[in-house]
Structure 1
Amino acid sequence: MADSQTAQTSSAVTKPTESALTTSQGKTVIADVVVSKIAGIATREVAGVHDLGGGAARAVGALRERIPGSRTNQSQGVGVEVGEKQAAIDIDLVAQYGVGIADLAGAIRRNVIAAVERMTGLEVTEVNITVHDVYLEDDATSADEADSSPRVQ
């Protein structure tokens, strides 16, 4: 009887713990870029987010979007660290003027955590958000007017 208890105990100790990503049938590895794209798309879904990225990243992204046939970089402004079971996410963004930034950050966290955990099976340990700027409609209107008017008449 003692032998059967020892056998049960040792098999319980040596059996690897199973998760959604590691099973007895194999291991699933999720690349950082997958998590960053999911987080970027989930962030853009939240009302009040104007754009993702800091100044330099947004400038490069704007140039890239002007190239015919190019697509929006969904992971712009998103940094991730992905382990075997967990992910940590950093998001840089520009908020719309008038939006409560604390409320916006909370909504982004909820949406990103739900999307990443649902699609990947990873546990999201943290979502850090940096708001680099506030977008004003007047700034865009005056920039468009300046671009459309000829410099020399």
Structure 2
Amino acid sequence: MSVHKNTLLLIASIVWLAAGVNIARIGLEAYAAGHLTLLNVVLSAVVGIVFWSFIFGKLVVKHTARITGYEEERHFFLKFFDVPAFVIMAVMMTGGISIRAFGLAPEGFIAVFYTGLGCALALAGLRFARMWLREVRVTRA
């Protein structure tokens, strides 16, 4: 179950891209249910920019530096994140599922927030992929 350290970046890319696309899909479905307005689209963009700028953009840089700094070449495949990142992910997933399952937020909020959050997560996945490609090129050179 061990992989090359650069593969950890690819795993992170796949996980974050899948999560982002799924969450954005939920938001877009809520938009399709009658919440598509210019104001909501702008608010989704603001949510995405805030999450990217203050959380996910920094997270990609932090975890890329941690992974590429490993001295050993092979690692357990779940080491693409550290324990605090897994805890944050679990809390976010539990919160998001709870909000929808118990109807704690109106569908308009789901449209705005989930679309912005999902796009920021997907962008993190794409950036992890870019970091993976960069590291693969450096390793082969």
Give the TM-score range, shorter chain.
under 0.3
With normalisation by structure 2, the TM-score equals 0.26
Q: Give the greater-gyration-radius structure (CA).
A: 1
More helix by proportion, 1 or 2? 2
Bigger relative contact order (CA 8 A; separation at least 6): 2
More strand by proportion, 1 or 2? 1
With normalisation by structure 1, the TM-score equals 0.25
